[in-house]
């Protein structure tokens, strides 16, 4: 039986890691655009800079004009475009190789991968799957080896993210050292080794969901966003080295990468899916009930755009 190998074109590599110039687009491990064998049609991409469709909970006034404004939630984003396959050499073998690469990359799969686009120095990315692929087997392909592929991607999360993930780390709050005797003027109260406070900036136009990791030793780890008044609190004791990872986008709470601990959420804890950073600055306070040396909170997020 022949050995089955997996091409690099389907690997979910870091978003934008292959892009080197404006106008290029990266789908999983395949690079398209200027300088490649896969040129993007001059019509560009549809649905990339558009606001996604949305569902609204507006309620009509029963006895007056208009309606009461409700929440609006964006639907998945659809991104489409046409890609021209231009082989490196003018022969049948090169044409077939280029087409086979495109087939392998634009497969019908269940897992989402990164789709990244760079325009005017800015690279943004979405998690998406291929929803449509039309490879034209026309006379141009038969005689010249140049094929045309119409592709559509479907992103269940419509937000476009910065390719650079940001990280903020803080320990549990530590008291100031206090006054030193004999007293001298001006009085110096010392400086705390850690305040337990950290800022998270979202310079985009859409809210973004962070991944928060609480590291023990601490009991009942709690984080409060002073900007939105949202709070996450878990009634659990973490031993030294234990990690409680809260993925607010997925709504999961996992202890040491194995066991779900979402049921430990306290009564005054916000739903994980609602804990998001609005555009601007989030001011986070890490306040476990008790803690020892080494207790800390790590926050990871990407700036998000509509």
Domain map (residue ranges) of the chain: 8-162, 166-177+185-305
* Contact (Cβ atoms closer than 8 angstroms) between residue 111 and residue 156: no
- For the stretch 65-118, pLDDT in tens is 999 999 999 999 999 999 988 877 676 777 788 888 888 889 888 999 999 999
Q: Which helix (H) or strand (E) holds 93?
A: helix 92-105
Return d(Cα 280, Cα 203) in angstroms, integer.
6
The DSSP symbol for 272 reads: G
Q: What is the pLDDT of residue 9?
A: 83
CA-closest candidate to residue 190, choices 204, 199, 180: 180
Query: Which of the four CATH numbers 3.40.50.2300, 1.10.3470.10, 2.40.10.480, 2.60.120.860 does domain 166-177+185-305 have?
Result: 2.60.120.860
Angstrom CA distances, 175 to 117, 185, 192, 257, stand at 47, 22, 5, 32
pLDDT in tens, 185-214: 654 444 555 788 999 999 999 999 999 999
Tokens of 266: 């306290």
What pLDDT, on the 0 to 100 scale, is given for residue 3?
Answer: 36
Q: What is the pLDDT of residue 84?
A: 87
> According to the model, what pLDDT value does residue 11 have?
86
Strands (E), 37-189: 38-46, 54-56, 59-60, 67-68, 72-74, 77-85, 113-119, 122-135, 147-155, 160-162, 166-171
Measured CA to CA, the distance from residue 229 to residue 227 in angstroms comes to 6
State the pLDDT at residue 82.
93
Q: Distances in Å between the alpha carbon of 113 and those of 58, 134, 153, 190, 220? A: 34, 20, 10, 49, 35
Q: Taking the CA atoms of the chain, what radius of gyration do you get in angstroms?
A: 25
Task: Check residue 95 and give its pLDDT.
Answer: 76
**How open is the CA angle 254-257-258, to the nearest 5 degrees?**
80
Q: What's the Cα-to-Cα distance from 236 to each of 146, 253, 298, rounded to whole Å?
A: 61, 12, 17
Which tokens belong to 283?
């001011």
Residue 179: per-residue pLDDT: 47
8-162: which CATH topology? Elongation Factor Tu (Ef-tu); domain 3 (2.40.30)
The pTM score is 0.85
pLDDT in the model for residue 151: 94
pLDDT single digits (tens) 19-56: 999 999 999 999 999 989 899 998 899 999 999 999 99
What pLDDT score was predicted for residue 176?
A: 55
At residue 5 the predicted structure's pLDDT band, cuts being 50, 70 and 90, is very low
pLDDT in tens, 113-164: 999 999 999 999 999 999 998 887 777 766 666 778 899 999 999 999 999 9
């Amino acid at each position: 039986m022949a050995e089955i190998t997996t091409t690099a074109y389907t690997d979910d590599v870091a978003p934008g890691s292959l892009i080197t110039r404006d106008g290029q687009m990266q789908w999983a491990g395949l690079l398209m655009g200027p300088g490649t064998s896969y040129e993007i049609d001059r019509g560009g991409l549809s649905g990339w800079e558009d606001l996604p469709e949305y569902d609204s909970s507006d309620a009509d006034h029963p006895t007056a004009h208009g309606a009461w404004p409700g929440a609006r939630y964006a639907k998945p984003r659809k991104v489409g475009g046409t890609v021209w396959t231009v082989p490196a050499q003018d022969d049948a073998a090169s044409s077939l190789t280029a087409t086979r690469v495109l087939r392998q990359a634009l497969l019908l799969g269940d897992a989402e991968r990164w789709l990244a686009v760079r325009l005017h120095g800015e690279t943004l990315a979405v998690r998406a799957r291929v929803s449509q692929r039309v490879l034209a087997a026309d006379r141009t392909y038969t005689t010249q080896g140049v094929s045309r592929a119409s592709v559509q991607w479907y992103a269940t999360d419509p937000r476009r993210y910065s390719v650079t993930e940001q990280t903020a780390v803080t320990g549990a709050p530590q008291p100031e050292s206090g006054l030193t005797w004999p007293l001298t003027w001006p009085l110096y109260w010392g400086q705390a080794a850690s305040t337990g406070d950290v800022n998270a900036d979202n310079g985009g136009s859409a809210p973004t969901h962070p991944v928060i990791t609480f590291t023990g030793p601490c009991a009942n780890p709690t984080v409060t966003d002073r900007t939105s008044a949202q709070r996450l609190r878990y009634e659990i004791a973490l031993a030294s080295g234990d990690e409680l990872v809260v993925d607010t986008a997925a709504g999961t709470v996992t202890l040491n990468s194995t066991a779900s601990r979402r049921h430990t959420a306290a009564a005054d804890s916000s739903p994980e899916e609602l804990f998001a950073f609005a555009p601007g600055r989030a001011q986070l306070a890490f306040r476990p009930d008790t803690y020892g040396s080494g207790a800390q909170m790590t926050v990871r997020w990407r700036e998000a755009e509509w």
